[in-house]
Chain A
């Protein structure tokens, strides 16, 4: 497919081919087309194998969104042997087989800190909304119940709550800083304690949950963190406990979470992610003690434009032989920029 905008790469060289495996808004599209020869999967309408086989020139880089149809796995990498760089446009890279990429010398970049503040802000807003019953109060007013039923139910104070953060990376740290301003006490779990922070470290999530009133999932999804919040952890959190998830749905055993909410094993939850998006367990849709959002914790117009700039910066670094701005390595190696893996 031809782009309507002639791409002009810097230095007068012909634009490099770029595999685009993500739906983009017009601004993002235009920005990419100005710099690269964009091979747009979603615009082609072809199935992925046919699209990859038919690529007019072998692309050395690909832009891939998480949670979509494309997984960067062995089959994918076999189908595009020219690929030397994969740029993920999400905070998470669980759709990319990091080990396989490392084995083949394919560099991987993520969105770095682009989304961190917005994700942290959303987590805090959702927590306030659960504790203070904000959306429930909204529904009460919109249904016209205020004149009929008088006052609404009491919420619960934020100050003094012990908040246990699973994953004290960029996002977790920003959540901690915000909640401290509300007078919360910060606990955390992470693969190893962070020397520069004064929060209380817990070596495992069960103990973190027993000593916390709120559990916040802000870690990446990988083998170690799948269902890191399980039945045991929910029981340890207890009947006044709140779970906030802005990680990945699979960080939590969703079936056990729904059961815990139904049975009052925990008090409430704020969930931006689910195990089978866009499916949300039906039982949650009628609960007043949960806040549900459709994976929007990072959505702001500012972060969309920041993401565009950041993705292009990573691509331009790669194509000019410079190091990626926000490289991601497999879990075995210590993680550098971007979101901590736990």
Chain B
């Protein structure tokens, strides 16, 4: 009779399950997600084995029914690169649990004919809602006012201070919002902000015929005509530090930046300097270059809103993600097209349209 620990390790490796269920590599710290997948697939759960990635992949490849698919979380330490793909040559499909696929070497996958799927639109609404919430928070100082009340300052100081340290309290109506990346998320942000009377501008790899918003071919131009810059694009070679010192200058001292893309979309050190020096007015940031590290200078600023990469975190989208991942895997295993393919689609290498 195996010990409980050995049985658990065996279960994590998928042994003892009927061979009829296809093997799937699962790399995400999420035991309940793994459990949901186990009803349909033979799950090889890296974090449950406690093995190193190398040992884990070698064991998977050596099994009699090696995995043809892998579910790999974004934003973690694991990259699906050439070494990963070499280690498990049976792999034909990689599914990201995020909209982002910057942890997957798409070039290597394309070269080997490995198909790639992302989370499609599962998170788009929640991210768009969160971006709008952050924007209102920065402009209308929702969280800063919260701090004022919770510290007991209202009875002491009277009405919330509207001058001095507070940079502004400003209306949404009429604000020009420049969206970098008009994909699923960017479009949903645009639709919401229009209801508040904002004017929508955007930058994208190419203009979109069907949208009524004004297109700017480069981000500096977009920033100079915008009061708010929203980063809603994927992270890839072209978009790394797409918001740089020049863009921040163009945005200007009354400008606000909202980032629900990836930390590396923005030159974080430059942005912190710009905030410290008052060269931009405020920021709403859900992502950072070195999560979970947040630049210490930001922690004492009242004109920034900070959150720990939670723009996708609702209980509804968590269950939607599971359903969507299962659907992509089932499509792959039954020879059907993926629901939300990033590859093959060579015209949209980064998956989420910019």
Give the interface of A toward B (CB within 8 A).
25, 117-118, 121-122, 124-126, 128-129, 132-135, 137-138, 140-142, 144, 146-147, 150-159, 177-178, 180-183, 277-280, 285, 291-296, 299-303
30 contacts across the A-B interface (CB closer than 8 A): A25-B162, A117-B172, A125-B140, A128-B132, A128-B136, A132-B133, A132-B310, A134-B142, A137-B307, A138-B146, A138-B305, A138-B307, A140-B308, A141-B306, A141-B307, A142-B306, A147-B292, A156-B314, A157-B316, A181-B191, A182-B132, A183-B125, A294-B149, A294-B154, A296-B141, A296-B169, A299-B169, A301-B171, A302-B171, A302-B173
Identify 11 new A-B residue pairs, CB closer than 8 A, beyond the known A138-B305, A155-B315, A300-B170. Answer: A125-B137, A134-B133, A137-B310, A146-B291, A146-B308, A151-B308, A157-B129, A278-B154, A285-B150, A291-B146, A292-B149
The residues in B between 150 and 191 inclusive whose CB is less than 8 angstroms from any CB of A are 150, 152, 154-155, 158-160, 162, 168-173, 191
Asked if A285 and B317 sit within 8 Å, CB to CB, the answer is no
The residues in B between 135 and 149 inclusive whose CB is less than 8 angstroms from any CB of A are 136-137, 140-143, 145-146, 148-149
Bound: A292/B148 CA distance, A: 9
Name the 9 nearest CB pairs between A and B, nearest first: A125-B136, A128-B133, A181-B195, A278-B154, A146-B292, A137-B307, A157-B316, A302-B171, A300-B171
CB distance from A308 to the nearest CB of B (A): 14
A134 cross-chain contacts in B, Cβ below 8 A: 130, 133-134, 137, 142-143, 305, 307
User: Which of A152, A180, A291 contacts B142 (CB under 8 A)?
Assistant: A291
User: Which of B125, B141, B170, B291 contacts A157 (CB under 8 A)?
Assistant: B125
CB distance from A176 to the nearest CB of B (A): 10
Asked if B195 and A180 sit within 8 Å, CB to CB, the answer is yes
**Contact A154-B195, Cβ < 8 Å, known A121-B140, A278-B155:** no
Asked if B195 and A178 sit within 8 Å, CB to CB, the answer is yes
Asked if B194 and A118 sit within 8 Å, CB to CB, the answer is no
User: Which of B148, B168, B316 contacts A301 (CB under 8 A)?
Assistant: B168
**B345: Cβ under 8 A from any A Cβ:** no
Asked if B140 and A302 sit within 8 Å, CB to CB, the answer is no
Asked if B129 and A128 sit within 8 Å, CB to CB, the answer is yes
Per-residue A-contact encoding for B303-326, CB less than 8 Å = 1, 0 else: 001111110011111100000000
Q: Which residue of A lies closest to B138 (CB)?
A: A125
Give the interface of B toward A (CB within 8 A).
125-126, 129-130, 132-134, 136-137, 140-143, 145-146, 148-150, 152, 154-155, 158-160, 162, 168-173, 191-192, 194-197, 291-294, 299, 305-310, 313-318
CB distance from A268 to the nearest CB of B (A): 13
Bound: A117/B195 CA distance, A: 11
Asked if B314 and A129 sit within 8 Å, CB to CB, the answer is no
Asked if B136 and A117 sit within 8 Å, CB to CB, the answer is no
CB distance from B159 to the nearest CB of A (A): 7
CB distance from A29 to the nearest CB of B (A): 15
CB distance from B198 to the nearest CB of A (A): 10
Asked if B143 and A135 sit within 8 Å, CB to CB, the answer is yes
B149 cross-chain contacts in A, Cβ below 8 A: 280, 285, 292-294
CB distance from A177 to the nearest CB of B (A): 6
CB distance from A332 to the nearest CB of B (A): 34
Asked if A121 and B145 sit within 8 Å, CB to CB, the answer is no
Bound: A291/B137 CA distance, A: 11
B310 cross-chain contacts in A, Cβ below 8 A: 132-133, 137, 151-152, 155
Bound: A133/B126 CA distance, A: 12
Q: Which residue of A lies closest to B318 (CB)?
A: A154
Bound: A111/B65 CA distance, A: 73
A152 cross-chain contacts in B, Cβ below 8 A: 307-308, 310, 313
**Contact A294-B148, Cβ < 8 Å, known A121-B140, A124-B136, A137-B307:** yes
Bound: A155/B313 CA distance, A: 6
Asked if B146 and A293 sit within 8 Å, CB to CB, the answer is yes
Q: Which residue of B lies closest to A290 (CB)?
A: B146
Bound: A174/B146 CA distance, A: 24
Bound: A147/B291 CA distance, A: 8
Q: Which residue of B lies closest to A142 (CB)?
A: B299
CB distance from A280 to the nearest CB of B (A): 6
Asked if A146 and B294 sit within 8 Å, CB to CB, the answer is yes
A124 cross-chain contacts in B, Cβ below 8 A: 136, 196
CB distance from A305 to the nearest CB of B (A): 10
Asked if A157 and B196 sit within 8 Å, CB to CB, the answer is no
B145 cross-chain contacts in A, Cβ below 8 A: 292-294, 296
Asked if B152 and A154 sit within 8 Å, CB to CB, the answer is no
Asked if A125 and B133 sit within 8 Å, CB to CB, the answer is yes
**Contact A132-B308, Cβ < 8 Å, known A125-B142, A292-B149, A296-B145:** no
B306 cross-chain contacts in A, Cβ below 8 A: 137-138, 141-142
Asked if A157 and B317 sit within 8 Å, CB to CB, the answer is yes
Q: Which residue of A lies closest to B153 (CB)?
A: A294
B309 cross-chain contacts in A, Cβ below 8 A: 151
Bound: A182/B191 CA distance, A: 9
Q: Which residue of B lies closest to A138 (CB)?
A: B143
Q: Which residue of A lies closest to B313 (CB)?
A: A154
Bound: A133/B308 CA distance, A: 11
Asked if A156 and B315 sit within 8 Å, CB to CB, the answer is yes
Q: Which residue of B lies closest to A117 (CB)?
A: B173
Bound: A60/B41 CA distance, A: 82
Asked if A279 and B155 sit within 8 Å, CB to CB, the answer is yes
CB distance from B292 to the nearest CB of A (A): 4
Bound: A178/B191 CA distance, A: 10
